[in-house]
Amino acid sequence: MKQKRPVAKKAGAGKTAVSASGETRTSGNRYSAPALEKGLDILEFLSAQGHAYSLAQLAGELGRTNGEIFRMLVVLEMRGYVARNRETDMYEVTDKLLSIGLQRPKYRAMTEVARPVMEKFAAETRYPCHLAIMSGGEIVVIGRVDSPDLVGVTVRVGYRQPALETGSGRCILAFMDEDRRRQALAAMHKKAGSAGFESLQTELDEIRRAGHLIGQSRIMDGVWDIAAPIVVKRGEEIVAALTAPYVSLVINPMSKQNVAKRLQAAAREISNLVGGV
């Protein structure tokens, strides 16, 4: 029988509540917001799923009544945080939370100054590129520029994948400061177990020494991930990755190494521009 996810419950002083994401909260303070917690439970649950859920399914997963979940879903849909398929009555989370997060000054500045540099790279190499950051053990694409050619591999803004499955994610990890990288890897290790971690440190060291990553995609056969770091150490450190999905094309004979060289130069230019904003 399918095990229900732990959900947030009203807790008295000194008691513990567990969120829909599995995180434990100690509620020793005097304040609580049950309605807010229910809404957050819905968003956290749907964000972690690969498909939409009906009202009854959500209620069952979160241990709530249909009435409780329905009221929350109506408000979340009105505010644009979830979307409902009118034909199936199934709900899924939208990208609104991502859009809000990207309004933070550091990310807004990065996407604004990066775009013309990315457009120049695409025009000169005829390869697409995208800009990604780390969020909760995953990479999130926050900007992209397509190839001027009709053939190429692109990913949409908002695309998410586990960091270790992507060139962007491994590039970001390689250039994080040691403390942040240790914390990020510890969280990933706890979630995913030991699979793939044995040789990871060696790979990250090699990426750091090279200044960029060139590796076969773990998502798509026949595609190579070429990624270069964007590192800004002014105030809060920012580490992102500029990535070009590379496929060998008859119409574009540029080598992976040449693309990596151009991409690294573009990433360095973005780093300098963001640092000066």
- Residue 154, domain CATH: 3.30.450.40
**Residue whose entry in the numeric block shows the structure tokens 């069952």:** 60
Element (H, E) at 109: helix 105-125
Q: Are residues 233 and 174 in the same domain?
A: yes
Q: Are residues 116 and 65 in the same domain?
A: no
Q: Does residue 8 lie within any of the structural domains?
A: no
Where among 94, 118, 152 does a domain terminate? 94
Q: Are residues 61 and 133 in the same domain?
A: no
pLDDT tier at 134 (50, 70, 90 boundaries)? confident
Q: Which stretches of 94-190 are assigned E, i.e. beta strand?
A: 129-135, 138-145, 160-162
Which of 255, 164, 167 is CA-nearest to residue 207? 167
Q: Which residues contact 253 (CB under 8 A, 6 or more apart)?
A: none
Average pLDDT, the chain: 82
**Residue whose entry in the numeric block shows the structure tokens 């409780």:** 68
Give the highest mean pLDDT range of 4-18, 40-54, 258-272. Answer: 258-272
- In this prediction the pTM is 0.67
- pLDDT value of position 102: 61
Domain count of the fold of the chain: 2
In this predicted structure, which of 7-11, 147-151, 185-189, 211-215 has the lowest mean pLDDT?
7-11
Q: Does residue 265 lie within any of the structural domains?
A: yes
Looking at the predicted structure, is the pLDDT value of residue 199 above 90?
Answer: no
Which of 187, 183, 188, 174 is CA-nearest to residue 231? 174
Q: Which residues contact 173 (CB under 8 A, 6 or more apart)?
A: 134, 163, 164, 181, 184, 185, 204
Looking at the predicted structure, is the pLDDT value of residue 196 above 60?
Answer: no
- pLDDT value of position 236: 63
Q: Does residue 114 lie within any of the structural domains?
A: yes
Q: Are residues 60 and 76 in the same domain?
A: yes
Q: Are residues 105 and 221 in the same domain?
A: yes
Q: How many CA atoms lie within 13 A of 7 on its CB side?
A: 24
- Mean pLDDT computed over 37-55: 84
Higher pLDDT, 198 or 149: 149
Report percent pLDDT > 90 for the chain.
Answer: 36
pLDDT tier at 274 (50, 70, 90 boundaries)? confident
pLDDT tier at 81 (50, 70, 90 boundaries)? confident
Strands ordered across the beta sheet of 90-93? 53-54, 90-93, 82-84
Looking at the predicted structure, is the pLDDT value of residue 59 above 80?
Answer: yes
Where among 94, 114, 139 does a domain terminate? 94
User: Cβ distance 242 to 129 under 8 Å?
Assistant: yes
Looking at the predicted structure, is the pLDDT value of residue 49 above 50?
Answer: yes
- pLDDT value of position 94: 77
Looking at the predicted structure, is the pLDDT value of residue 47 above 80?
Answer: no
> Both ends of the chain: CA-CA distance in Å?
54
**Residue whose entry in the numeric block shows the structure tokens 């780390």:** 134
Q: Are residues 161 and 84 in the same domain?
A: no
- pLDDT value of position 26: 45
**Residue whose entry in the numeric block shows the structure tokens 């498909």:** 51
| Rounded CA separation 65/55 (Å) | 10
Looking at the predicted structure, is the pLDDT value of residue 21 above 50?
Answer: no
Q: Are residues 45 and 112 in the same domain?
A: no
Higher pLDDT, 256 or 105: 256
Report percent pLDDT > 70 for the chain.
Answer: 80
- Mean pLDDT computed over 228-232: 93
Q: Are residues 89 and 108 in the same domain?
A: no
- pLDDT value of position 1: 46
* Residue 66 lies in domain: 16-94
Q: Is 106 exposed, middle or buried (0-12, 13-18, 19+ CB in 10 A)?
A: middle
Task: Output the six-digit token pair for 62.
Answer: 């979160």
User: Cβ distance 100 to 265 under 8 Å?
Assistant: no
Q: Are residues 58 and 168 in the same domain?
A: no
Where among 76, 94, 112 does a domain terminate? 94
Q: Which residues contact 257 (CB under 8 A, 6 or more apart)?
A: 214
In this predicted structure, which of 12-26, 95-109, 155-169, 182-196 has the lowest mean pLDDT?
12-26
| Rounded CA separation 82/73 (Å) | 7
* Residue 69 neighbours by CB distance under 10 Å: 23
**Residue whose entry in the numeric block shows the structure tokens 């080598």:** 255
**Residue whose entry in the numeric block shows the structure tokens 């240790």:** 182
pLDDT tier at 159 (50, 70, 90 boundaries)? confident
CATH number at residue 46: 1.10.10.10
pLDDT digits (tens, 9 = 90+) for 85-102: 888 989 988 777 766 666
- pLDDT value of position 206: 94
Q: Are residues 57 and 186 in the same domain?
A: no
Q: Are residues 71 and 105 in the same domain?
A: no
Q: Are residues 198 and 256 in the same domain?
A: yes
Angle (nearest 5°) at CA 65 between 61 and 71: 105
